[in-house]
Amino acid sequence: MNSIPQEAEMPIVLNLASDGELLKEYVIESREHLNNIEQGALLLEEHPEDADTLNSVFRSFHTFKGGAGFLNLVPINHLAHGLESLLDLARLHKLTLNAERIDLILRGRDTLRQFIDQIDAQLTGAAPPAPIMIATGDFGRQIQAAMTNEPEPASSSQQTEPTAAAAPSAASTVKVETSKLDSLVDMVGELVIAQSLVAQDFNPQAAADPRFARNLAQMARVTRELQRVSLSLRMVPIRGVFQKMARVVRDLAARQNKEVQLVTEGEETELDRNLVEELADPLLHMIRNAVDHGIENAAARAAQGKPRAGVIHLRARHQAGGILVELQDDGQGLDKERILAKAVEQGLAAPDVKWSEEEIFHFIFAAGFSTAREVTDLSGRGVGMDVVRRNIERLRGRVEVTSTPGQGTLFKLVLPLTLAIIDGLIVTVGGQRYIIPTLLVRESFRPRREMISTLQGRGELVNLRGRLIPMLRLGEQFGVKPAASSPDEGIIVVVQTGASLKCLLVDGLLHRQEVVIKSVGEMIRQRNACIAGAAILGDGRVGLIIDVNSLGSFPVSFGARAANN
């Protein structure tokens, strides 16, 4: 058996001038191999006899090693070679992949990722050119020990090397820079707008000329299909994020001496690539919260008559033109009384207000909020769930929470399919048009005069089925004089931000429409933080997209009931 090279501590000096393009390709391919290694190792921990997965992980290390050798990345080459040799013995049935060896493979993969991250940072200019040195510890010796301390004699039926599964054809996919895809989507968006303007200008002529009308309709169909296809190029399965969470659950459960199983559903659900990337961080915090606070230890679960191993379900599916991601655990659930008491203590909730269960649960998303009795390396500092709320709101989504004591907690993330197009409700104020994301709209109605009241220091409120909700005049938010002089002459649109509701007073509703989002300049954002972007509507006019979460708020207890005031 060949020994594993021990020179992995030597630094990596990159030749960016001559090898820059090759290194870029290597970094891209390496990230794919590292993801495959992590996912495969987790599967092998559960099913060590899975020959196809074992061969796939082995091939990833082999290809990773070969590229490192070609580019003279010696420490990477040696570490990958050692792990490849370990897996080769497993393929030959000369050792078994127990938990300790899987842990060694995963730690080796993490070290290789650190090397790749450092190389990438120098390639992108995020770090200055310098020798790369990342401590690899005793990996060489640990791998050697893992390969030799279980000398299993192979039976005659185990001597043959497993047949590797055929690799997918390289011709089936083409790698394209994401910036080019983004540019394509932007240009198709411009085409959709131009087609809409042309159709509107020539509608009278089309009505008189059937042939012209058919041609116009055909152009509209082709344009819509082109838009659909171009957007689909940016759509990727959520599988990658879900599989990363499997590693997080494994490591956190081990650190906390808990037994936790992650079950995923809907991994093939597709959404915008940018959304997938942005979703990883909120899910990470929610998983940490579920393992640390939600799932009890095995002894406590057994005492309650529960299975010793806790279960976390992570699901995704399309719903109402958007994406629904659910994270559910079967742990102890949220302590409503304790959360409310802590919220009152921190000045987040008025003690004399009757809060709904939904509103109490949403206090956990407040910055600095924590009910942990002691600070650990995982929790207790009040950091994490506030990041979830901010990130989801920034993606124009919302979070819903339900919980049952002793049975567990369910988090629902409602998100749009893409960040490039928004499904919006077009409203008017003083002749101007504004777009409200429909995912955040609860209902709309024309208010009666007696539904509106004013409280000193709290502004205007709407009594909606016994619940007092702050009313915001959208015209005042944007400095526009409304056409309606009295609220009962306008329309109220009820929107949801977290567990809170806001009533937006507008002049009227036009229609619901999908619009292509255009970014606005930083100067405009600084002048009015309520503007999330803009869109060119079908008639060529510009509509401002409203950032509902940034709209003005009042010091009112959103959960207050009319009977309490």
| Helix residue ranges per DSSP H, 233-297 | 239-255, 273-289
CATH code for the structural domain at 421-564: 2.30.30.40
What pLDDT score does 326 carry?
Answer: 92
Compute the chain's Rg from CA coordinates: 29
What pLDDT score does 522 carry?
Answer: 64
**By the 8 A CB rule, do 15 and 79 touch?**
no
Of the candidates 64, 67, 55, 58, the residue with the CA atom closest to the CA atom of residue 23: 67
**By the 8 A CB rule, do 242 and 267 touch?**
yes
pLDDT tens-digit map of 433-464: 888 888 888 888 888 888 888 876 667 888 88
What pLDDT score does 559 carry?
Answer: 36
**By the 8 A CB rule, do 383 and 285 touch?**
no
Distance of alpha carbon 60 from alpha carbon 50, whole angstroms = 16
- Which parts of the chain register pLDDT below 50? 1, 7-8, 152-171, 380-383, 553-565
- Superfamily (CATH H level) for 236-416: Histidine kinase-like ATPase, C-terminal domain (3.30.565.10)
What pLDDT score does 170 carry?
Answer: 42
CATH code for the structural domain at 16-151: 1.20.120.160
What pLDDT score does 526 carry?
Answer: 63
What pLDDT score does 556 carry?
Answer: 33
What pLDDT score does 327 carry?
Answer: 92
Of the candidates 362, 383, 293, the residue with the CA atom closest to the CA atom of residue 333: 293
What pLDDT score does 192 carry?
Answer: 77
> 3-class DSSP state for residue 305?
coil
Segments making up each domain of the chain, as ranges: 16-151, 178-233, 236-416, 421-564
Evaluate if pTM is beyond 0.75: no
Order of strands, edge to edge, in the sheet holding 500-506? Answer: 441-445, 491-497, 500-506, 467-473, 459-464, 452-455
What pLDDT score does 229 carry?
Answer: 85
What pLDDT score does 314 carry?
Answer: 92
What pLDDT score does 5 carry?
Answer: 52
pLDDT tens-digit map of 34-70: 988 988 888 888 888 888 889 889 988 888 888 888 8
* CA atoms within 13 Å, Cβ hemisphere of 54: 24
Strands (E), 146-276: 235-237, 260-265, 270-272
